[in-house]
């Protein structure tokens, strides 16, 4: 029985990557044009959101979204969320209409086809390099000055120990938010670890619930308040994960 289940999971995970790749191939000329100039990023972002919906629904995920308060479409935010799954990328794109740029690990560029556009549109970080982290900060600043929001998963990666509910947050997202006086907008993804964790023979189609919390203001804060802002945001997400209620 376990062998049969593992075969089904294997086939389903292969299908997930097919659903990631085939739409990109079909949209390749459009994506290539839209990623050739930073000024066209807003148009690329709309296509990316369309792609995310194809991947989610095509893989059997049913996104369910609830907001604590409206999200201002004309405002720049620092979007942060818990990180447990590859599905986090698609669900973030599904949830947020404000054009934003991911700050993400460079390892994802190795995924065929997806990685090509990921590299062209995201701010990549090599977490082992101090120089890379500084370059990321500078590039993120440029995007924020241009009015584009930023998305960072502040855990800095997916914890290898899946029993960890929420890892300690790194300070980068909060440092940037304070520097540019933009609000933090926390999101909690309640089901993505259960749906598709990084343990290969695990997961299943089903609902992927997301909760958009009320924004956390950085108005008047200085870098001395960075740690407190970090802990406040982490507590918001942690409490929602612990409750398990949308």
Nearest to 102 by CA among 51, 154, 165, 180: 154
Residue 146 pLDDT grade (very low, low, confident, very high; cuts 50, 70, 90)? confident
Q: What is the pLDDT of residues 150-192, one digit of tens each?
A: 999 999 888 888 889 999 999 999 999 999 999 999 999 999 9
- Mind listing the pLDDT tens digit for each residue in 21-75? 999 999 999 999 999 998 999 999 999 999 999 999 999 999 999 999 999 999 9
User: Could you tell me the end-to-end alpha-carbon distance of the chain, in angstroms, rounded to an integer?
Assistant: 33
**Stretch 139-159: mean pLDDT:** 90
How far is residue 125's CA from residue 134's CA, in Å, rounded to a whole number?
Answer: 9
d(CA 141, CA 139): 5
Residue-wise pLDDT tens digits, 196-218: 998 888 999 999 999 999 999 99
**What are 60-87's pLDDT values in tens digits?**
999 999 999 999 999 999 999 999 999 9
Mean pLDDT, rounded, for 221-229: 97
SS3 4: helix
Structure tokens at 143: 């995007």
Report the chain's mean pLDDT, rounded to a whole number. Answer: 93
């Amino acid at each position: 029985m376990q062998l049969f289940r593992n075969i089904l999971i294997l086939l389903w995970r292969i299908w997930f990557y097919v659903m990631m790749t085939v739409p990109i191939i079909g949209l390749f000329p459009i994506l290539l044009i839209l990623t050739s100039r930073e000024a066209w990023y807003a148009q690329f972002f709309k296509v990316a959101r369309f792609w995310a919906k194809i991947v989610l629904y095509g893989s059997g995920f049913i996104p369910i979204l609830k907001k604590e308060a409206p999200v201002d479409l004309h405002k720049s935010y620092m979007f942060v969320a818990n990180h447990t799954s590859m599905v986090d990328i698609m669900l973030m794109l599904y949830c947020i209409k404000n054009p934003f740029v991911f700050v993400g690990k460079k390892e994802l560029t190795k995924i065929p086809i997806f990685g090509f556009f990921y590299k062209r549109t995201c701010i990549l970080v090599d977490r082992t390099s101090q120089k890379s982290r500084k370059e990321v900060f500078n590039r993120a600043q440029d995007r924020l000055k241009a009015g584009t929001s930023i998305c960072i998963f502040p855990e800095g990666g997916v914890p290898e120990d899946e029993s960890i509910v929420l890892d300690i947050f790194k300070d980068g997202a909060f440092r940037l938010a304070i520097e540019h006086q933009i609000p933090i907008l926390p999101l909690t993804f309640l089901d993505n670890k259960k749906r598709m964790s990084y343990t290969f023979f695990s997961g299943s189609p089903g609902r992927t619930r997301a909760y958009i919390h009320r924004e956390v203001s950085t108005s008047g804060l200085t870098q001395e308040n960075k740690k407190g802002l970090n802990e406040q945001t982490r507590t918001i997400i942690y409490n929602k994960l612990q409750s398990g209620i949308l």
